[in-house]
A and B are shown apart, each in its own frame.
Chain A
Amino acid sequence: MNIVITPAMIGQVIISGILSGVLYSMVALGLALIFGVMRIINVAHGPLLMLGAYTTFFLYSAFGLNPYLTVPISMAVLFVAGVVLERTLVFRVVDAPELSSLLLTFGISIALVNGAQLAFTSDLRAVEYITGSWVLGPFAFSKSRVIAFVFAGFLTGGAFLFLRSTRLGKAIRATSQSREVAMVCGIDVGKIHRLTFGLASALAAAGGALISVIVAIQPEMGQIWTFKSFLVIVLGGAGNYPGALLGGMLLGLIEQLASLFLTTQLSEVVAYVLLVLVLLVRPTGLLGGRQT
């Protein structure tokens, strides 16, 4: 096998990497928020994304809605689902040892995936709305990926603006910096937790809605997103929100570059090798996480 790699090919994978990277950043930001504020790794993050994708699929197939118009609806539905999950189950393990929260969210994940199999069957579904690419010189831009990129960029930017500038956003950041102080300062930490979980689920749902136009929808589509999001926040530094942005872009680029230089099967492995390397060499992440 002897393939000549041209500069145009490298340019193409960099473009593809950036396009998918922002999507990773957005979904991982949700996981990072929950970890930062509640110190919980939400294993059910990916399955929540899957529910977002199904929401879009059903709105599209039953009502013929434009799938991009369903993004805010999916987000709203999953925001409510996230708040309910927190209020009924997750709040019980906030102060518990890490293993309890891992087991609980793992259980929620299994329940969601199997529930989806029962309710929606394991058939592959697709939202065939937009296909093809825009061609610009030597580069091709997949239309659905560009649109997903734009949406994800706006939503991630919006989430950061919310965290930076609003009082509620600051209360979320304050709680993630020190929960005990936030409590005695009069911040209703329980409310902040519910809101954070809802917001994180909404970000996952946006991811699900956007990729439903790109890949097939099925109940097990979510788990890989849990792992990738975890990888992203480890890369960027757990609890470091801008780090999630950087981590997502890096993961997108690395995956694409690996698929160019290695076989497709190996390119999936690269991400995990990277995870092990980062944990060994720089366990606080590239930007440094927050010390607890």
Chain B
Amino acid sequence: MAPALEVADVHKSFGGVRAVSGVSLSLERGRIHGLIGPNGSGKTTLFNCITGVERLDRGRILLDGEPIHGLQPYEIARRGVGRTFQMIRVFPELTALENLLVVTRGPRAAAEAHARELLAFVRLQDLAGEYAGNLSYGQQKLVEFVRMLMRDPSLVLLDEPAAGVNRTLLNELLDAVRRLRDAGKTVLLVEHDMKVVMGLCETVFVLDHGEKIAEGPPGVIQSDQRVIEAYFGR
């Protein structure tokens, strides 16, 4: 069976800067993977390549064995890739409910029922009619998270889910991520909080200067010499 996602020898440069340079990695279905690395190591660029926001210079990206590089971002989203952003991106002038509904197709009543269910899942049901821009930071983060779930993605990309979130909310988010995994979804998350990465991920990939320098279970990664050098210098 093909891996949930296969990134093969992906290159992406901006001008003379090689943001991602020959990265290959493969995600196992139904597992949580971490993507770490110092600032500017190419994590977000790799996310952008997977979601089709950036075009690859070279390389291939396969979702369930099917090539998705070269597709439009909306086509990739419709094939089951969901994503959240480092800086939250809700549609501020749509209500929480509308934020979820706007990404759906198909019959409206079913979509609305599903959206209300998801809002209840993160305990925002009472704020469904509130403009997303008026919600707190944490609430916006939750709206963004469940908006991604509206299309029932098979692959979930999370860009720094823990950033700027208080402990209580963080634990809820992490629980939600584990439940996604238990429901058979594949997760790839970029995170700076090492406690989160080590506690949540089953496999960790490390990027530095656009290259993958290590891959393995969190315990092994923590003691990897190259990883320590990348973070702390020689």
Contacts and interface: CB of A to CB of B under 8 A. Distances in A.
Nearest to A189: B74
Nearest to B111: A167
B77 A173 contact: no
B148 to A, nearest CB: 8
B220 interface: no
Contacts of B93: 173, 177
Contacts of B228: none
A177 B91 CA distance: 6
B94 A184 contact: no
Nearest to A187: B74
A181 interface: yes
Contacts of A138: none
A174 interface: yes
Interface stretch (B29-37, B96-104, B207-215): B96-104
Nearest to A191: B74
Contacts of B91: 173-174, 177-178, 181-182
A183 interface: yes
Contacts of B74: 183, 186-189
Contacts of A184: 51-53, 73, 76-77, 81, 83
A186 B103 contact: yes
B78 interface: yes
B15 to A, nearest CB: 15
Interface string B138-149: 000000000110
Contacts of B51: 183-184
Contacts of A183: 51-53, 72-74, 77
A159 interface: no
B103 A187 contact: yes
A190 interface: yes
A183 to B, nearest CB: 4
Contact of A185 (B52, B77, B92, B108): B77
Interface in A158-190: 167, 170-171, 173-174, 177-178, 180-190
A78 to B, nearest CB: 27
A180 B89 contact: yes
Contacts of B147: 185
Contacts of B85: 181
A188 B72 contact: yes
Interface in A113-133: none
A177 B94 contact: yes
A218 to B, nearest CB: 40
A190 B98 CA distance: 21
Contacts of A171: 102
A5 B179 CA distance: 75
A167 B102 contact: yes
Interface string B50-79: 011100000000000000000011101110
Question: Most chain-A CB neighbours within 10 Å: which of B74, B77, B148?
Answer: B74
Question: Most chain-B CB neighbours within 10 Å: which of A167, A178, A185?
Answer: A185
Contact of B94 (A170, A180, A188, A190): A170
B43 interface: no
A174 B150 CA distance: 16
Contacts of A167: 101-102, 104, 108
Nearest to A172: B102
Contacts of A190: 72
Contacts of B53: 180, 183-184
Interface of B: 51-53, 72-74, 76-78, 81, 83, 85, 89-94, 98-99, 101-104, 108, 147-148, 151
27 contacts: A167-B101, A167-B108, A170-B98, A173-B93, A174-B91, A174-B94, A174-B102, A177-B91, A177-B93, A177-B94, A178-B91, A180-B89, A182-B91, A183-B53, A183-B77, A184-B51, A184-B52, A184-B53, A184-B83, A185-B77, A185-B148, A185-B151, A186-B77, A186-B103, A186-B151, A187-B74, A189-B73
The 4 closest A-B pairs by CB, nearest first: A186-B77, A183-B73, A185-B103, A181-B89
